Amino acid sequence: MCFKELEESFKDHCGIFGIYCPDGKLDVAKITYFGLYALQHRGQESSGIAVNDSGNIIYHKDSGLVNEVFNEVVLNHLKGYSAIGHVRYSTTGKSDRENAQPLVIKYRKGHMALAHNGNLVNAHIIREKLEQEGAIFQTTIDSEVIASLISRNRIKSENIEEAILKTMNEIKGAYSLLILTPNKLIAVRDPYGLRPLVMGKINNSICFASETCALDTIGAEYIRDVEPGEIISVSRNGIKSIKYENGTKHLCVFEFIYFARADSYLEGISVYEIRKRLGKQLCKESYVDCDIVIGVPDSGTTAAIGFAEEAGIPFSEGFIKNRYIGRTFIKPEQTQREIAVKIKLNVLKNNVAGKRVVLIDDSIVRGTTSRKIIKMLRDAGASEVHLRISSPPVIFPCYYGIDTPDRKELIAANYSTEEIARILGANSLEYLSLNGLNEVFNGEIHQFCTACFSGEYVTEIPENFNKYILEEGV
């Protein structure tokens, strides 16, 4: 089997941020800008902010990083007392400009803006039904399906919250939502809590974000996580919480392994501490006698520190990471493909030459980048390279908002561990076990989604879902 020369790592899904300032004393657009900046790791293709200006929703969005899309002139135009923002990496829908969020729509009973993190598994079914009834869609993203359903349900509902509850009865999959109306800011989390969403407070203002690192950036106090299946509505009348149902926690475990920033807390748990414990558990299961332990920056670094501490082997920097690669980075020609990795990472030759190296990474997807990194270490003089992965083998695709390949492109689904080690050029390869992952979470792994490891999805996946994804161009 030939694996495509594509981007190796999982792509982050999206990041959302929102703030409601009842007295209008805070510059909500600029605060949202800084909140999105802190969430930039979750999406680098497009950015957008929508602001409620005395009942009118004004917005700006475009392809690009947060600092590419917004400047002082744009932000000074976005005045109001509440705002929502979004950074995006496409999972469903092409990465075209029209798919940038927040989505701003007008309908019979008003208008609203919507920002969505996650992925629906039945969006194509609902969309086909709505199109047959005459609905017109401007984008190829499932977020517009949610907005369309809310607007339709609002016509026969007493209020927007009731319309959202009706919509939650129809949609299946992962969704953390922020909805801006002329007089409210509403946060919604799916009944399984697959995607993260936290609530904070700054002065007398309420804010929401995908991760606590965004709250830290703007100086907000963390209040709590939005509960699975919860709707929180914030207005001048105060804060109202509505439960769709008693949800069950199934936060994506890859938030801890890879996606979230290391300084964030999810469900009250430190991401940094979990990654360190992953490394320690990995060492207990797959110790190897070597000279140094190094991590693949950035998500492999903390696990490498934990592995080194448990093994009593020195932790050392093996790579310098170029932190100034923007989304417009020009990919080299086929004959220069090695440059693509070396621009992002360069080996510290003095640290690895003549050394037996333990290399820690968070996951292997297709294996293309892992193979190049191991070759770089060999070329720099490493005598041995033992690859250790701080998660179990990824053998099933994700349908909840992570851009994973089809199963036939997942290297661990098609080769044994020994075969993968030979393909990558490693002296040895070991993964963290599922039991080990459970140990790291103190026996509570059932509270997290591990479908990419186990194939046990928390929702039913329609048979034609992969066909829909391919047609949407992901």
Residue 406 marked ligand-binding: no
Q: Provide the β-strand partners of residue 269.
A: 266
Q: Is 398 marked as a binding-site residue?
A: yes
Q: Is 233 annotated as a binding residue?
A: no
Q: How far apart are CA 275 and CA 472, in angstroms?
A: 34
List all residues 6 or more positions away from 111 whose beta carbon is below 8 Å from its beta carbon. 57, 104, 105, 181, 182
Q: Does 452 count as an annotated binding residue?
A: yes
Selection from 176, 187, 39, 46 nearest residue 120 by Cα: 176
- Spatial separation of the C-alpha atoms in residues 2 and 52, rounded to whole Å: 51
Q: Compute the distance between CA of residue 84 and CA of residue 28 in angstroms, rounded to an integer.
A: 9
Q: What are the distances in angstroms from CA 390 to CA 33, 107, 202, 378, 472?
A: 33, 48, 36, 22, 32
Rounded (5°) CA angle 329-337-410: 95
362 labeled part of a ligand binding site:
yes
Determine whether 14 is an active site residue. yes
Confirm or deny that 299 is annotated as ligand binding.
yes
Identify the active-site residue in 2, 14, 207, 213. Answer: 14
On the question of a cis peptide bond just before residue 298, with omega within 30 degrees of 0, the verdict is yes
CA distance 149 to 130: 9
What residues are designated binding site for Mg(2+)?
Answer: 299, 361-362
What residues are designated binding site for [4Fe-4S] cluster?
Answer: 252, 398, 449, 452
Active site residues: 14
What residues are designated binding site?
Answer: 252, 299, 361-362, 398, 449, 452
